């Protein structure tokens, strides 16, 4: 089964005295103050959709490329969805600008004036096993095979307009939600026939669907707005709610399945629940290390459950650990999305401070650096935006001449922070900005082979 993830953006700060290790060596922040709307992992690239444009992160160099309506063929700055096809083309859904295809060089924009799109507001994009592009718009669901557009709307079997997700199972069936809080339901399309499941013709407990996952046996688990959790095996329905199970709350907004086929259920106000098919285990602020009972998103790697609530929480089955703004490099406690790449790095999208990566390796000693930073020079920031001071951390893999300079928005040099030869290693600079006015600044690190610029926001 194909999986489609939702993703982010970039910004940073500077310094004056140094010591031997980075403040948060396992966190790298890529932030621009924007809400993260979509994330898509494409091997060595991470594509991030934000409320202010599209960002490409090159994982091998940590370089960022920003695309917006002013500097590229992106038709609209609010990016709502991203999917990547087998040829590496990026398919980008926007809020009011239609669909864009980007091959790395050329942009092609599809909208209501030049294609079969029925509406320029797009909620979801997915790619099926035959490389068809599926687009959920405000006026119907569209399939694009590269040449032809096929519209599915209320005249062709959809009871209402499609919802904000598209899921594709191993049999290439398309699953989507449709409608609003009281009308709609779950829709399945096998390429020929539409089947609509709602409260009038099935045991679906609520027509307002929040999320859907497919487990290893092909069962669909559907999280609803007020009807709890529904399981559908293709024939039979089983509903779990507060009246007939230990599900702690009927608003289910996040779902994930682990390697043992356990279902992890995030609720709006009553914490996290684990369901093994028979038994329920509920975790909340009263009996666990969960910092907040409103669970927004869940991701699972080998042995760990990662929970986005107030901050980022890791649960290994025994121990709980929460990373937040006060104790880690997480730039904001409002976590909106999570993704785990093939190297086990945790990508965290925040509500309005962009994206950060957590590389793990918690057992390393303080004066060592994480595996992701051993290969190349790197520039990181602590607090950003900041009030009076912040920590700028950088790492250089070999002995070299280092220049670290702070510039203002006009490009004028404000401070030369470092200009000397440095031994290989990690360094911290504490920028005391008491003598600087509020505004936007840029810190630029330059070595013989590397240059990086981070945006800083000083707020007094």
> How much is the average pLDDT of 137-153?
92
13: in domain: no
| Residue 35: per-residue pLDDT | 64
CATH for 421: 2.60.40.1930
Residues 367, 21: contact at Cβ < 8 Å?
A: yes
Average pLDDT over residues 239-243: 97
Q: What is the pLDDT of residue 159?
A: 74
Look up residue 348 and give its two tokens: 């965290």
Same domain, 129 and 273: yes
How high is the pLDDT of residue 297?
Answer: 93
Q: Check whether 13 has a pLDDT greater than 70.
A: no
Taking only the tens place, the pLDDT of each residue in 376-425 is 667 777 777 777 888 888 878 778 899 999 988 777 899 999 999 988 77
Residue 12 falls within a domain, yes or no? no
Shared domain check, 258 and 141: yes
Instruction: Indicate the residue among 334, 358, 373 that finishes a domain.
Output: 373
- Per the structure, the count of domains in the chain is 2
Q: What is the reported pLDDT for 177?
A: 85
**Three-state SS for 386?**
strand
What sign for the dihedral angle of Cα 435, 436, 438, 443?
negative
- pLDDT at residue 353, rounded to an integer: 66
Q: Are residues 293 and 399 in the same domain?
A: no
Q: Token match 């939600």: residue? A: 177
* Residue at 7 is within a domain: no
Mean pLDDT of 119-125: 93
- Same-domain status, 297 and 153: yes
Helices and strands: H and E segment counts in the chain? 0, 39
Query: Considering the domain boundaries, does residue 17 fall inside one?
Result: no
**More confident position, 271 or 454:** 271
Q: Are residues 215 and 354 in the same domain?
A: yes
pLDDT of residue 183: 67
- Count of C-beta atoms within a 10 Å radius of residue 193: 8
Give just the sign of the alpha carbon dihedral 356, 359, 362, 365.
Answer: negative
Question: Of 322, 356, 373, which residue sits at a domain end?
Answer: 373
Q: How confident is the model over 76-89, as pLDDT tens digits?
A: 988 999 999 999 99
Position with higher pLDDT, 190 vs 1: 190
Residue 83 lies in a domain: yes
> Does residue 233 register a pLDDT over 70?
yes
Answer whether the bond into residue 22 is a cis peptide, omega within 30°: no
Phi, psi for 371 (deg, rounded to 5): -60, -30
Confidence band for 4, pLDDT divided at 50, 70 and 90:
very low
367 and 393 assigned to the same domain: no
Same domain, 368 and 444: no
Q: How many CA atoms lie within 13 A of 454 on its CB side?
A: 30
pLDDT at 21 over 60: no
Q: Is the pLDDT of residue 36 over 80?
A: no
Q: Tell whether 259 is covered by a domain.
A: yes
3-state secondary structure of 293: coil
Q: In this predicted structure, which of 126-130, 275-279, 390-394 has the lowest mean pLDDT?
A: 390-394
CATH code of the domain covering residue 290: 2.130.10.10
Q: Residue 203 above 60 pLDDT?
A: yes
pLDDT, tens digit (0-9, with 9 covering 90-100), for 149-182: 999 988 887 777 777 778 888 889 999 888 665 5
Strands (E), 98-208: 99-102, 107-110, 122-127, 133-137, 140-144, 149-152, 162-168, 174-179, 184-189, 194-197
Q: Over range 230-234, report the average pLDDT.
A: 94
Same domain, 367 and 406: no
* 129 inside domain: yes
% of the chain beyond a pLDDT of 90: 42
Q: Which of 5-14, 18-27, 40-49, 370-379 has the lowest mean pLDDT?
A: 5-14
Identify which has the larger pLDDT, 444 or 37: 444
User: Does residue 9 sit within a domain?
Assistant: no
Residues 431 and 359 in one domain: no
Q: pLDDT-derived band of residue 9, with 50, 70 and 90 as boundaries? A: very low
The whole domain housing 238 covers 27-373
Mean pLDDT score of the chain: 82
Which of 325, 348, 373 is a domain's end point?
Answer: 373
pLDDT band at 370 (very low <50, low <70, confident <90, very high): very low
Phi and psi, residue 372, nearest 5°: -70, -20
Examine the domain organization and report whether 352 and 432 are in the same domain: no
More confidently predicted of 343 and 211? 211
Assess whether 277 and 340 both reside in one domain: yes
Order across the sheet with 107-110: list the strands: 79-84, 90-94, 99-102, 107-110
| Per-residue confidence (pLDDT) for residue 366, from 0 to 100 | 30
More confident: 212 or 53: 212
Cα–Cα nearest to 174, from 201, 200, 152: 152
pLDDT-based confidence at residue 369 (cuts at 50, 70, 90): very low
Same domain, 330 and 443: no
SS3 content of the chain, % helix, strand, coil (to 5): 0, 50, 50
* DSSP label of 334: B
pLDDT confidence of residue 62: 63
pLDDT digits (tens, 9 = 90+) for 302-360: 789 999 988 999 999 999 999 987 788 787 788 888 888 766 778 887 776 667 778 76
Q: Which pLDDT does position 388 carry in this prediction?
A: 81
């Amino acid at each position: 089964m194909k999986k489609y993830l939702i993703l982010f953006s970039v910004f940073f700060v500077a310094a004056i005295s140094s010591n031997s290790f980075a403040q948060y060596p396992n966190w790298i922040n890529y932030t621009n103050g924007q809400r993260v709307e979509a994330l898509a992992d494409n091997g060595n690239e991470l594509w991030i959709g934000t409320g202010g444009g599209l960002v490409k992160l090159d994982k091998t160099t940590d370089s960022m490329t920003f695309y917006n309506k002013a500097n590229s063929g992106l038709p609209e700055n609010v990016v709502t969805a991203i999917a990547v096809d087998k040829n590496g083309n990026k398919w980008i859904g926007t809020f009011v600008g239609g669909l864009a295809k980007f091959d790395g060089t050329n942009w092609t924009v599809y909208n209501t004036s030049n294609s079969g799109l029925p509406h320029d507001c797009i909620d979801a994009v997915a790619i099926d096993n035959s490389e068809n592009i599926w687009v959920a718009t405000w006026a119907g669901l569209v399939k694009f095979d590269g040449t032809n557009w096929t519209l599915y709307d209320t005249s062709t079997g959809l009871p209402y307009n499609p919802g904000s997700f598209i899921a594709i199972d191993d049999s290439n069936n398309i699953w989507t939600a449709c409608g609003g809080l009281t009308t709609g339901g779950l829709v399945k399309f096998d390429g020929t026939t539409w089947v609509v499941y709602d409260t009038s013709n099935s045991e679906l407990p609520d027509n307002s669907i929040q999320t859907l996952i497919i487990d290893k046996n092909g069962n669909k688990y559907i999280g609803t707005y007020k009807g709890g959790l529904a399981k559908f095996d293709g024939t039979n329905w089983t509903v779990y709610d507060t009246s007939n199970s230990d599900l702690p709350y009927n608003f289910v907004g996040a779902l994930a399945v682990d390697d043992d086929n356990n279902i992890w259920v995030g609720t709006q106000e009553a914490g996290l629940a684990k369901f093994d098919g028979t038994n329920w285990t509920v975790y909340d602020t009263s009996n666990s290390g969960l910092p907040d009972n409103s669970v927004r998103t869940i991701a699972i790697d080998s042995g760990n459950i990662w929970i986005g609530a107030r901050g980022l929480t890791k649960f290994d089955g025994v121990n709980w650990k929460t990373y937040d703004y006060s104790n880690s490099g997480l730039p904001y406690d409002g976590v909106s999305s999570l993704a785990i790449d093939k190297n086990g790095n945790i990508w965290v999208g925040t509500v309005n401070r962009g994206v950060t990566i957590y590389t793990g390796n918690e057992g390393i000693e303080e004066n060592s650096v994480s595996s992701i930073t051993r290969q190349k020079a790197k520039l990181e920031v602590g607090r950003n935006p900041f009030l009076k001071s912040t920590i700028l951390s950088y790492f250089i893999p070999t002995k070299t001449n280092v220049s670290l300079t702070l510039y203002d928005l006009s490009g004028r040099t404000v401070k030369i922070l470092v200009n000397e030869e440095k031994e290989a290693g990690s360094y911290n600079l504490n920028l005391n900005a008491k003598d600087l006015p509020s505004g936007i600044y840029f810190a630029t690190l330059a070595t013989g082979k590397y240059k990086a610029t981070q945006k800083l926001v000083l707020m007094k």
